[in-house]
Structure 1
Amino acid sequence: MAGCLLQQVAADSYWADAELSDRWQQYLQQSAALLQQQQQDFRAELREAGLTQPVAAVRLKGFGLSAIESAEQLSAVLSYQSHSGGWSKGTDMRQPRQPGQWAGSEPDYIPTFDNGATSTQMRWLMAYFPKADATSQRQIRHSLNRALLFLLQAQYPHGGFPQSYPLRGSYHDAVTLNDHVMAELLTLLWDISESTLFSTEQQQQAREGFRRGVQFLVNAVVVLKGRPTVWAAQHHPLTLTPVAARKFEQASLVSTESAKLLALLLGKASDQPGVHCTLCYGALWLQQHQIKDKKWQRTATGSSLEPEKGRVLWARFYSLSDEKPVFFDRDGQTYSDVNQLSLERQQGYGWYQSEGKAFLKAWAKRPELQQQCAPSQQELGHATKAP
């Protein structure tokens, strides 16, 4: 069984040799206890099912569903909720989980927030609740209560979120902005804080979780050469510095996730301390790094930037040294041209994206905020039409 179950956090993780406050020590102890309990519960389930080894879950990109539309689908989704309260990623959830079956196709990712896991299932449950009968509604409330408790437990003391919880070591313990993990979870907390599906106390807890998450974002903005910029895809959970994840996701500034978070701050938190300055510098950074009148085109033999009037793009990643576009391959090497990558990586990753356009368009409609930006950002006070 030891080879199949989640392992304790590795000794060479972010936490090794760190001097931790009582609050952080308590967080890590809670994570370890939850992991241990999750393992014990699953072992008990295996014994009751008369199994000596877990049954594999069915791997599927996505979950096989786009919403819960029936009592049968509800039952299936609820069956995949982990012992600790969250859900897994990349798992077919159309058929109910059987006793002794993993709750995810990748056991090390049970549960996780990656690839929309947990946040997606919670939203499905919230959306289906009005259509459900009384018995199903009670099941949904119970599931959502467990999931919200899990979500609040997973949030780091400073407001960030790891990619997976309970903690499992390596880059999965980093505060994860990549693939919009932070944006999805903070938006979910905001929506829970206004949802009558939850008690007044739960709404307040969600609102406080949102507030702390926003404060984390303000504190974690990467400062280069004395000037705030945007964020990295992953941040060290203690120092908040940018860190690497997979070999083709080295430490760097990230445009798409930053733009999504800036839009969230603009729409829901512009009055919180430090947010206005973050918005000013973030807008300036996106304006300065946009690639105009170009589109990224992928073919069977490679990829290229081609002329197209009116299009606006950003590279996915920007160097921490000179803020120029950078690209990474599976060998962990850094390249300055996307065409230097292997064909597999050119075709298998979104190296150029356009998320920043939506934020700049929304920012252009807030002149009262632009006018309050620092004199060094005067160009924001005379915002041109969004690209």
Structure 2
Amino acid sequence: MINNKLFIVFIFAACSLGASAQHTITTERFNDGIHHWNLVHEHRDYPRYTEAQYEKIADNLIAYQNPDGGWMKNIDWLGILDTDSVKAGLDEDHLRSTLDNRNTFPQIEYLADVYLVAKAPKYKAAALKGLEYLLTTQKENGGWRGWDVDAITYNDDVTTGALELFRNILQGDTSFSWLDKGILDRIRKGYEKGLDLTLRCQIVQDGVKAAWAQQYDNVTLQPVKARTFELPGISADESCGVVFLLMGIDNPSQEVIDAVEGAVAWMERVKIQGIRVERVPLSKDKIINHEYPYDNVVVEDPNAEPIWARFYEVSDNTPFMCTRQGQKVWKLADVNAERRTGYDWYGYWPKKVLAAYPAWQKKIKK
């Protein structure tokens, strides 16, 4: 089972300017990948490292790191397992490195944090190798591809996560204070290219900035589909990741400020009132996946807090969903049962953005 208890290690280390900085070592950002491992491993009776055993976990990351510097997705990074046996059980496609399911950029960050504490050169070397992977796989247009389609991908924080890591490094993350000017210059170039792309990808409706799609065509920058049930549309979920990336920029440009304000206004416009999604327990014979022993049902409730759809039509912001076979539908009940529970069609993602927005406004006006 996933250990949700966060063991926090505080590090006080001198940064390049001589000040002290506080860091945390946590596996929280691995949760998505571990969740996907759990989906196909119902019985998990093997031992696992605790959060406190950060060097052991870092050693696990090194053992799984591919020769190109990236990592395959959907591994239990805390599992005490024979890595060669785990790899032997994966097909060739699942062995390849990817940023899908919030992967690779968290491993780089974790290894750098552990290096700051343990000082073992192997952690520094592995983190640097991971950074090289990000730099060499960044598209010429500034984005990164996902697992399912060769397109500029914001789904699963693919492009967003890589750019956030670059942003943090450039803004003084002391876990990466050992990077030399050569690679910092390359990271800056990649970051600026990716940020420019992200701003250009923001969808504009009738002259008004809205939000972002999951994937974009590499040339036209128009929204495109990925998996059969991920059709082109504005995504409330992925847009939140982009907004947090932009709100984390020190001294943002007016273009960045306008992008954030446009996206927040869009989130306010498209929030849905009067419904909530209820999880209805299922009998054992009806459970499709052990991780989802329930059905998702939309319930009318005038007192429900605002909720958002995962996808909205680019043309008029109509919420939509999709079956596994690729049929667009407008009611959750019309989505096949496996996708109804196995995908987040509704959520409260913008709540965190809207909560953080007032403080961000005050910050940029100082």
TM-score range, shorter chain: 0.7 to 0.9
Alignment of 1:115 onto 2:101: yes
Secondary structure, aligned partner of 1:214: helix
Written as runs of structure 1 = structure 2, the 5 A alignment for 1:1-387 is 60-61=37-38, 69=53, 71-93=55-77, 94=79, 95-98=81-84, 102=87, 105-109=90-94, 110-132=96-118, 134=119, 137-164=120-147, 171-193=148-170, 194=172, 195-268=176-249, 271-272=252-253, 274-292=255-273, 294-299=275-280, 300=282, 302-307=296-301, 309=303, 311-367=305-361
8 Å CA contact retained: 1:68, 1:128:
no
**Aligned residue pair count:** 303
Q: Give the Cα separation in 2 of the matches to 1:210 and 1:66.
A: 34
User: Secondary structure, in 3 states, of the residue corresponding to 1:116?
Assistant: coil
Query: CA 1:65 to 1:295, structure 2 compared with 1: closer, same or farther past 3 Å?
Result: farther
Structure 1 residues 68 and 178, CA gap change in structure 2 (3 angstroms): farther
Unaligned runs of 5+ in 1: 1-58, 165-170, 372-387
Report the equivalent of 1:380: none
Residue of structure 2 equivalent to 1:16: none
Displacement of 1:294 after TM fit? 3.9
Distance 1:196 1:227, change over 3 A: same
Task: Tell me: CA distance 1:188–1:329, structure 2 relative to 1, closer, same or farther (3 Å).
Answer: same
Task: Decide whether the 8 Å contact of 1:286 with 1:356 is kept in 2.
Answer: yes
CA 1:273/1:156 → structure 2, altered by over 3 Å: closer, same or farther? farther
The offset of 1:341, in angstroms, is 1.1
1:88 and 1:103 in contact (8 A); partners too: no
Measure the CA separation in 2 of the matches of 1:162 and 1:313: 29
2: CA distance, partners of 1:366 / 1:102: 44
Q: Which runs of 5+ in 2 are unaligned?
A: 1-35, 42-47, 283-294
Residue type matched to 1:230 in 2?
A
- Conservation of the 8 A alpha-carbon contact between 1:252 and 1:320: yes
Change in 2 beyond 3 A, CA 1:209/1:65: farther
Q: Which amino acid is the alignment partner of residue 155 of structure 2?
A: N
Q: Secondary structure at the match of 2:245?
A: helix
Residue deviations 1:138-164 (CA, integer Å, cap 9, x gap): 111111111111101111122211125
Shift of 1:61: 3.8
Larger radius of gyration, structure 1 or 2? Answer: 1
Scaled by the length of structure 1, the TM-score of the pair is 0.70
| Percent identity between the two aligned chains | 26
Does the CA contact (< 8 Å) of 2:63 and 2:83 recur in 1? yes
Alpha-carbon distance, 1:65 to partner: 6.4
Contact 2:108 2:127 in 1 (8 A): yes
Indicate the SS of the match to 2:72. Answer: coil
- The TM-score normalised by the length of structure 2 is 0.74
Aligned partners of 1:162 and 1:174 also within 8 Å: yes
User: Could you tell me how far 1:296 is from its partner in structure 2?
Assistant: 1.7
* CA shift for structure 1 position 186: 1.4
1:190-226 CA distances to partner (integer Å, 9 max, x unpaired)? 2233231422333333233222221111111123344
**Helix, strand or coil at the partner of 1:303:** strand
Give the drift of 1:176: 0.9
CA distance in 2, matches of 1:158, 1:273: 22
* CA distance in structure 2 between the partners assigned to 1:215 and 1:352 by the alignment: 29
Amino acid in structure 1 at the alignment position of 2:327 = Q
Q: Give the aligned CA root-mean-square deviation in angstroms.
A: 2.8
Does the 8 Å CA contact 2:247/2:360 hold for their aligned counterparts? Answer: no
Change (3 A) 1:309 1:340: same
Greater shift in the superposed pair: 272-281 or 80-89: 272-281
* Matched AA of 1:87: W
Secondary structure in structure 2 of the residue aligned to 1:304: strand
Offset at residue 172 of structure 1 (A) = 2.5
Q: Deviations over 1:331-361 (max 9, x none)?
A: 1000111111112221111111111112122
Mapped contact 2:277–2:296 kept (Cα < 8 A):
no
Q: Deviations over 1:33-56 (max 9, x none)?
A: xxxxxxxxxxxxxxxxxxxxxxxx
